[in-house]
A and B are shown apart, each in its own frame.
Chain A
Amino acid sequence: MAATFHGVGATVAALSSSSSSSSPSNSFGSKKLLSSPSRSFSVRKRASFTMVRSEGSMNFDLNSKGRRAQQLIANAVATKADSSPASSSSKPGHELLLFEALREGLEEEMERDPRVCVMGEDVGHYGGSYKVTKGLATKFGDLRVLDTPIAENSFTGMGIGAAMTGLRPVVEGMNMGFLLLAFNQISNNCGMLHYTSGGQFTIPIVIRGPGGVGRQLGAEHSQRLESYFQSIPGIQMVACSTPYNAKGLMKAAIRSENPVILFEHVLLYNLKERIPDEDYICNLEEAEMVRPGEHVTILTYSRMRYHVMQAAKTLVNKGYDPEVIDIRSLKPFDLYTIGNSVKKTHRVLIVEECMRTGGIGASLIAAITENFNDYLDAPIMCLSSQDVPTPYAGTLEEWTVVQPAQIVAAVEQLCQ
């Protein structure tokens, strides 16, 4: 079975031929190229990167950008951006798993500021169903790490109320899907109180929890709530994907005066990485450059980042040079980083785990088209999950989310 996105099996040969003339084989681009003179400039620009491809070996032209791309290929699944403040050598720092990084961030913030407290189901004595709050109750006490009854609507509301007075609660939803029960509190109170009170109250709350499609957890426990929350005015949304940014985003979210929803993913908790010993935070509104490239911008977040990086290995072997950006900030989008990338590559592929209808990808397409339409050589392609409840059967569940093969096919089609 071939993916529908798998076009004409775009090969490098087609690519190199298209780079030297306006490409008839690119069904998306051809019309646009003919119609807008500004774009022909970009075609000529691209033509300077002729690529010689052979199986297995990666020869690029001697352009410095190509050389950097060559350096990074060994780290095609890089988890740290080149420009990260942490040192790139692996000696300093300590290694830990993502849930431990979240715990470290939380613990450091709780030590730093006595107003930070945690509330959620089984967070205290049990240690958290994903062990993010393990040991914190023994250290900080039962009130600061509060075990709540199974009553999401009320304890989320309680957290928001406490935040109105100046406390800084971190509310954990055992699974993001349960926060649907607290939607009213999050939408109407958390998001709006700063506005409706004319600025009197700030709500420095962090709402966090794992979501996303896991391993056969069933329909109700595999929800992606970022699409539902994104239109709530007044909140910020971030999605972590590596231990480094998990800790950084957790700390930044706690320090932020605005309500932040931190999306974690059920399948990413056991990722291991070496992170710096010193104190650091990640900017809440910044995207992360995972892999600089030239041919296509791939925007992704959370678990799909890993599917994209897996596809990137294949793409690189096929001679493509994808630029992979982990957008991290789901609301607001980091249009600065994204825009610069679009201006460079002129092709955008969004890979997300949200549903096709009304997901983050849909909003991102609108934002990019509105702001960077002139720089696009092809319509933006968006790969999302199917608009179906997540089935239990393993094979069906696999087909619900985007797989690396589909990403490869999409890039090939986009880069025709």
Chain B
Amino acid sequence: MALSRLASSSSRSADLLKPLCSAISLRRPISTDTTPITVETSVPFTSHQCDTPSRSVQTNAKELFTFFRDMALMRRMEIAADSLYKAKLIRGFCHLYDGQEAVAVGMEAAITKKDCIITAYRDHCTFVSRGGTLLEVFAELMGRQAGCSRGKGGSMHFYKKDSNFYGGHGIVGAQVPLGCGLAFAQKYSKDEAVTFALYGDGAANQGQLFEALNISALWDLPAILVCENNHYGMGTAEWRAAKSPAYYKRGDYAPGLKVDGMDAFAVKQACTFAKEHALKNGPIRGKSLSLVEAIKLTSSCSVCCAYMQILEMDTYRYHGHSMSDPGSTYRTRDEITGVRQERDPVERIRKLILSHDLATEKELKDIEKEIRKEVDDAIAQAKENPLPESSELFTNVYAKGLGVESFGADRKEVRAILP
């Protein structure tokens, strides 16, 4: 009552409001509490050629709030990108990740910035989870200088080298051999880190995927291939494109795990498990084994024998494949709303927070309002940002400081100054 009166008066009272608020919330220091809470994943894990991790995940209030905030931010960001696309400020292709946020957030919670992540074109949220700012996202989407790729890449080409985020790739499946390369380098330099190479259910049918599986297993690369199975490869359902939609079993000899990708804690648990397995499983393969020992090991399989594993994240995208796809010609609206009601990742965390009595509905709504404002501010800032200079057309073609010249095969300088 006193609060509401204060709230309705001038800005001076807003300063008064702050200490009151924190005084009230002092009884629950919600954002920094690290007392452990145990949550159960939505469904048990299914495994192939290895043990399943436990369904009980350790977490705490701080992590719950981080998850909520990050996922709500990603959700808001993607919806804002939808509106910007319809307003023609974003053009070309725009693939949105809303519905799949739990994969990005859960994975990030299980690893460090030393571990590498590489993904395909649905990369806005993964970029943010790796530390990208909203300004970089929106500026890149609108083709401005402040974008993470200086406006030259676009929606499908987000990268962040300093936090080992390797993109951002337009051609389906082509990023997975690149991921093997990242893992190869980690093994080569003895980095004690792993690579998560993400791809979709559509890409799982690419030949280069099978090649990547083979070489990762053959050379014991610390690569974890993560199939984000949203059940539709562009406009084709998974059962119409794949004889066996059990993507986690495709490794055959390599261990696989099927995870509920809409549950951030399941994702976190699986990624922790996978990373541990990949890093710890060296010595067995490192030794030269007699043939009998080798056969015994592979057949007993309570200890996995390949570094490389496949994680299949059972997830869902609310939007169509891209902004030019309505997303409703190959699936029913009922299906989409059904998933949104029953399995939405943000709602799941919200319910967890409320059930553990860590915050009220209103407080969560306030966080969402704050996020909305943050996103709107970033968009406004990005809109102000200038488009790249025309000389940028010729920079970064080669890395040898050749300036603004562009060289054809005849080494002749061609510089086009346009009217």
Contacts and interface: CB of A to CB of B under 8 A. Distances in A.
A15 B415 CA distance: 27
Contact of B93 (A218, A399, A403): A218
Given A180-B171, A220-B171, A396-B393, 19 more contacts: A3-B416, A3-B418, A4-B416, A125-B330, A177-B171, A216-B91, A221-B93, A357-B408, A357-B410, A387-B397, A388-B397, A392-B92, A394-B91, A395-B390, A396-B151, A396-B387, A399-B390, A403-B419, A406-B419
B92 A220 contact: no
Interface stretch (B4-12, B105-113, B124-132, B198-206): B198-206
Nearest to B157: A218
Interface in B360-408: 387-388, 390, 392-394, 397, 406-408
Contacts of B205: 149-151
A122 interface: yes
A228 interface: no
Contacts of A6: 419
Interface string A197-235: 000000000000000001111111100000000000000
Dominant SS at the A interface? loop
Contacts of B231: none
Interface size, A (range) = 35 or more
A216 B92 contact: yes
B240 interface: yes
A391 B394 contact: no
Nearest to B409: A357
A393 B414 contact: no
A122 B409 contact: no
A215 B202 contact: no
Nearest to B155: A218
Contacts of B44: none
Nearest to B322: A129
Contacts of A394: 91, 143, 387
Contacts of A392: 92, 140, 143, 149, 151-155, 157
Given A218-B170, A221-B93, A392-B151, A358 B409 contact: yes
Contacts of A180: 171
A385 to B, nearest CB: 10
Contacts, number: 164
Given A150-B234, A151-B206, A218-B154, A391 B392 contact: yes
Interface in A104-163: 121-122, 125-127, 129, 147-151, 153-154
Given A221-B170, A356-B408, A149 B207 contact: no
Contact of B390 (A147, A153, A215, A396): A396
A399 B155 contact: no
A405 interface: yes
A62 interface: no
A393 B409 contact: no
B207 A153 contact: yes
A74 interface: no
B156 interface: yes
A357 B156 CA distance: 26
A384 to B, nearest CB: 9
A394 B92 CA distance: 10
Contacts of A216: 91-92, 143, 154
A359 B301 CA distance: 55
Interface residues of B, number: 51
B235 interface: yes
Contacts of A221: 92-93, 156, 170
Contacts of B406: 386-388
B181 interface: no
B329 interface: yes
A406 B149 CA distance: 29
26 contacts: A1-B418, A122-B236, A126-B235, A127-B329, A129-B235, A151-B206, A153-B207, A180-B171, A216-B154, A217-B154, A218-B92, A221-B93, A221-B156, A355-B408, A386-B414, A386-B416, A389-B397, A391-B151, A392-B143, A392-B151, A392-B153, A392-B154, A394-B91, A396-B387, A403-B419, A405-B418
A149 B242 contact: yes
A221 B334 CA distance: 33
B214 to A, nearest CB: 16
A400 interface: yes
Nearest to B243: A149
Contact of A400 (B144, B393, B409): B393
Contacts of B170: 218-221
B92 A217 contact: yes
Contacts of B418: 1, 3, 399, 403, 405-406
B6 to A, nearest CB: 48
A396 B152 contact: yes
A399 B407 contact: no
B255 interface: no
Interface in B191-242: 202-203, 205-207, 233-236, 240-242
A244 interface: no
B261 interface: no
Contacts of B233: 149-150
B74 to A, nearest CB: 21
B345 interface: no
Contacts of A129: 234-235
Interface string B151-166: 1111111000000000
A3 B156 CA distance: 32
A406 to B, nearest CB: 7
B414 A219 contact: no
B392 A396 contact: yes
B173 interface: yes
B203 A150 contact: yes
Interface string A343-374: 00000000000011110000000000000000
B210 to A, nearest CB: 10
B417 interface: yes
- Of A122, A180, A388, A392, most buried by chain B (CB within 10 Å of CB) is A392
